[in-house]
Amino acid sequence: MAVGLYNSTIISSDLGNNVCIDNVNYLSHYIIGNEVMIANVNELATTDYSKFGNGILKDGEEEKTRVWMELCNEAGGRSVIPFNGMLAGDAWLWSKYREDDALLNKFKEFTEKRYDKQRGYYGKVGDRTVIKNCKIIKDVWVGTDAYFKGANKLKNITVNSDEKRTSQIGEGCELVNGIVGYGCRIFYGVKAVRFVMASHSQLKYGARLINSYLGNNSTISCCEVLNSLIFPSHEQHHNNSFLCAALVMGQSNIAAGATIGSNHNSRAADGEIVAGRGFWPGLCVSLKHNSKFAAFTIIAKGDFPAELNIQIPFSLVSNDVTNNKLVVVPGYWFIYNMYALARNEWKYNARDRRTEKIQHIEYNYLAPDTINEMFDALKILGQLKADDAGTAIVSGWENSKERPNCIKYHKPC
């Protein structure tokens, strides 16, 4: 496009070199970088109380106006204050230790110290950024080399972007009160409110992300995710899958028809799902609050009407409706799906697109978290006793020379 200012209303803004601003109905209080193109935008403005998605207060504002991110619990019992640069570990620490008031107050103090309370900060559009055919962009801070096309509404957000980690927001998207990390992609009718997206994560095809943290290198398409804390390398691609009030520790994959969380499948007013790394619920899995799963738990298709506390990692969990039994197969991955375990490690390493690896992400399926869970699981298995049906007596195995073959083939001894 030709450099220059055309058919636009511009108020109290600084413009860099070689910019093109064409058909912008209202541009107010922005610092525009060099070689920026802005075309066909209804409103691009910054207010005097702009916070760019950070959960802080400006002079004269009341506490009730602060933006909180209600993670892991629909009732807000694990709320945290979002801020630019928040790691999954930050959100976990803040949402986990709720009984420690001194710690929670310190977290709040640390966050507020990152920013001052003065009003009147200008918005920014970084060098080489392109914004076209958008409707409302209000209180938005944009890094360099970003690309916005056809967004409906962007309000009170920070979009991190640079020359090597470009972020893009596409058609029909509406983002309010959030942080977008470096190298993120957001396209095609996405709705996100009170959220943090870590670097190189994606929202696509009408996905809804509300009151949630999405970790690095994750993708959510089509479905709905509410009140969840999701660690890096999460995949969820299906329009009829639902994730709510959950802590998912990453390397996870939510199948179609899965209903994870929500008080709709529990009598409780609110509840939580806690799932370790490698959480793979199968097709049409429905889980009840409150449930907890060890690392690399795979759940077979079915409705699970009772709360589950699966402490044995690498297990297959299924519901034997005919016999009214919950069936847990320990070590299922090692016996039947070892290839998937090996692939799970190298594929996530290959998909880690971070250029600045601020924090180490563990992808090895044998790591301190899983090894400790295996030790705990051995204690549980060692406490099992024989029943009248003659199932295996596993106590005392540590002293036996050879374990019975029934364990390998999951047959009664």
Summarize pLDDT for 305-326 with one digit per residue, the tens: 888 999 999 999 999 989 989 9
| pLDDT for residue 327 | 93
β-pairing, 37-45 vs 79-80, is unpaired
Q: Judge whether 128 and 146 are in contact, CB under 8 Å.
A: no
* Band (385; pLDDT cuts 50, 70, 90): low
Distance between CA atoms of 363 and 349, rounded to whole angstroms?
7
pLDDT score of 403 more than 70? no
pLDDT in tens, 101-113: 999 999 999 999 9
| pLDDT for residue 262 | 62
DSSP-derived letter for residue 109 is H
Lowest pLDDT segment from 196-200, 307-311, 342-346, 351-355: 351-355
| pLDDT for residue 361 | 86
Q: Kindly state the tokens that stand for 85.
A: 């640069």
Residues facing residue 136 across a β-bridge: 43, 153
β-pairing, 259-260 vs 242-248, is parallel
pLDDT in tens, 364-384: 999 999 999 999 999 988 887
Which is higher by pLDDT, 181 or 262?
181
335 φ/ψ sector (left φ>0, alpha ψ -120 to 50, else beta) = alpha
Peptide bond into 290 cis (omega under 30): yes
List all residues 6 or more positions away from 142 whose beta carbon is below 8 Å from its beta carbon: 123, 124, 125, 126, 129, 131, 148, 159, 161
Distance between CA atoms of 213 and 229, rounded to whole angstroms?
5
User: What radius of gyration, in Å, describes the C-alpha atoms of the chain?
Assistant: 25
114 phi/psi in degrees, rounded to 5: -70, -20
Highest mean pLDDT among 42-46, 118-122, 348-352: 42-46
pLDDT score of 389 more than 50? no
Judge residue 225's burial from the number of C-beta atoms within 10 Å of its C-beta, 0-12 exposed, 13-18 middle, 19 or more buried. Answer: buried
Residues facing residue 229 across a β-bridge: 213, 247
Q: Judge whether 71 and 226 are in contact, CB under 8 Å.
A: no
b/e 60-74 (16+ beta carbons within 10 angstroms → b): eeeeeeebebbbbbb
Distance between CA atoms of 339 and 262, rounded to whole angstroms?
33
Residues facing residue 235 across a β-bridge: 219, 253
Distance between CA atoms of 366 and 344, rounded to whole angstroms?
12
pLDDT score of 180 more than 70? yes
Q: What is the percent of the chain with per-residue pLDDT over 70, rounded to a whole number?
A: 91
Distance between CA atoms of 341 and 334, rounded to whole angstroms?
8
**For the residues of 217-268, what is the DSSP string, one character each?**
T-EEESSEEEEEEE-SSEEE--TT-EEEEEEE-SSEEEPTT-EES-GGGSSS
Q: Kindly state the tokens that stand for 33.
A: 């970088």
Distance between CA atoms of 159 and 167, rounded to whole angstroms?
7
- Cα angle for residues 135, 52, 38 (degrees, 5° grid): 35
